């Protein structure tokens, strides 16, 4: 396999973009990535667009050709990639494979979602499609409700207080306050989180990722392409993996672990030839606070039932043992669903380049985890700074 490098990246500010369309958001992020890479759009041989819900929310599919057209590069190989909330991460994985296989030397991968101008019914319907809609939705379940089941079961099984899990939201807001791309650039107290309205018991409003618009993009290239243009200070994708679990929670033996995460990260660590202790900075998919806690465990940074301790004891802070979600996470940076996985890899890329808003000192290895549904699909990207 060929070595794969992130040559450049770009992203829009996450938020409520009433004046920008889906295509405008994607093109903005893509042009930033191409500019950061120092290349021309003519160098792009393939285009991958991560998105979950454009068909439902915008009445628009065929995003590959659409975005190629609006970028002014019709003729390029292009397609939409969908993996629920992990669509962006899955798109990065497909772009990685395209370069690693030797098929292409330079590809553009982006993720985009426009959610805030949708009516609540359509948005709830779209998000519920991340589970088995035919069966789960007929029971009256919502996507928040499914995560609430996981949350309550976790607290009961391990005897954990909700306040300790909810601290993940406080942590995220602390770093989003210093991230110019974040949707919520302010800090919150635990008291404010716990007094926010219940959405699906026990999940409170300030424990949920918001409805968001945004796009992020990356340029990936081969070693020979990087050499040809004289690129330096490279960031390599040392591992890119994916795994799945049964789609619905009702088919799983344990609600407190995501088997897909464990499978994908085990392969990724082996592929990158590292251990969890080698990771300097981490981005996890915390659409709800309970997921952030569970991911810290499944990724190998805490024992099962003790992920919350890393947050409460400050181990996930910028100067802690495993700095986590320096972007502000899905909770506070925002969660434009199909773009989120690309935003996460973009944050790790910035950290390893030394240009992140909440820069971790001497970061050399970073990991990004993107989750579709309640763990039905998981992608893992491990990046390394090349000296």
Structural contact between residues 215 and 111, judged by C-beta atoms closer than 8 angstroms: yes
> Can 85 be counted among the known catalytic residues?
yes
Cβ contacts of 59-67, under 8 Å, gap ≥ 24: 60/22, 63/112, 66/23, 67/23, 67/26, 67/27, 67/30, 67/110
Catalytic, out of 85, 106, 208, 221 = 85
Tokens for 377, please give them: 């699909």
User: b or e along 10-36 (b: 16 or more beta carbons within 10 Å of the residue's beta carbon)?
Assistant: bbbbbbbbeebbbbbbbbbbbebbbeb
- Give the integer Cα–Cα distance in Å for 181 and 13: 4
Catalytic, out of 93, 285, 295, 335 = 335
DSSP letter for each residue of 215-274: EEEEEEEEHHHHHHTT--S-EEEEEEEEEE--SSGGG-S-TT--HHHHHHHHHHHHHHT-
> Can 335 be counted among the known catalytic residues?
yes
Active-site amino acid positions: 85, 335
């Amino acid at each position: 396999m060929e070595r794969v490098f992130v040559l450049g990246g770009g992203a829009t500010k996450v938020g409520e973009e009433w004046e920008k369309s889906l295509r405008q958001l994607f093109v903005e992020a893509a042009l930033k990535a191409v500019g950061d890479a120092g290349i021309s759009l003519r160098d792009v041989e393939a285009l991958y667009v991560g998105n979950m819900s454009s068909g439902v929310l915008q009445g628009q599919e065929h995003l590959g050709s659409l975005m190629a057209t609006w970028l002014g590069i019709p003729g390029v190989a292009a397609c939409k990639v969908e993996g629920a909330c992990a669509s962006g991460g899955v798109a990065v994985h497909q772009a990685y494979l395209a370069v690693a296989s030797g098929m292409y030397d330079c590809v553009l991968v982006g993720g985009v979602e426009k959610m805030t101008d949708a009516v609540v019914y359509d948005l709830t319907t779209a998000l519920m499609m991340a589970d088995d809609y035919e069966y789960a939705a007929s029971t009256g379940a919502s996507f928040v409700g499914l995560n609430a089941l996981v949350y309550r079961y976790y607290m009961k099984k391990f005897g954990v207080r909700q306040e300790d899990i909810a601290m993940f939201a406080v942590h995220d807001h602390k770093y989003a306050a210093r991230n110019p791309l974040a949707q919520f650039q302010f800090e919150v107290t635990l008291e404010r989180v716990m007094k926010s309205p219940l959405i699906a018991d026990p999940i409170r409003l300030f424990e949920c990722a918001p409805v968001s618009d945004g796009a992020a993009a990356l340029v990936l290239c081969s070693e020979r392409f990087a050499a040809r243009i004289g690129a330096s200070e490279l960031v390599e994708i040392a591992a890119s993996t994916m795994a799945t679990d049964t789609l619905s929670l009702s088919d799983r033996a344990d609600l407190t672990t995501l088997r897909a995460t464990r499978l994908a990260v085990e392969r990724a660590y082996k592929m990158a030839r590292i251990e969890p202790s080698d990771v300097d900075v981490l981005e996890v998919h915390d659409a709800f606070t309970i997921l952030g806690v569970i991911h810290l465990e499944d990724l190998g940074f805490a024992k099962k039932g003790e992920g919350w301790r890393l947050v409460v004891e400050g181990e996930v802070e910028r100067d802690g043992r495993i700095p986590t979600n320096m972007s502000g996470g899905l909770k506070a940076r925002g969660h434009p669903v199909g773009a989120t996985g690309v935003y996460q890899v973009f944050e790790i890329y910035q950290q390893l380049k030394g240009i992140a808003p909440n820069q971790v000192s001497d970061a050399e290895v970073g990991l990004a985890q993107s989750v579709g549904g309640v763990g039905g699909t998981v992608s893992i990207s491990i990046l390394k700074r090349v000296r």
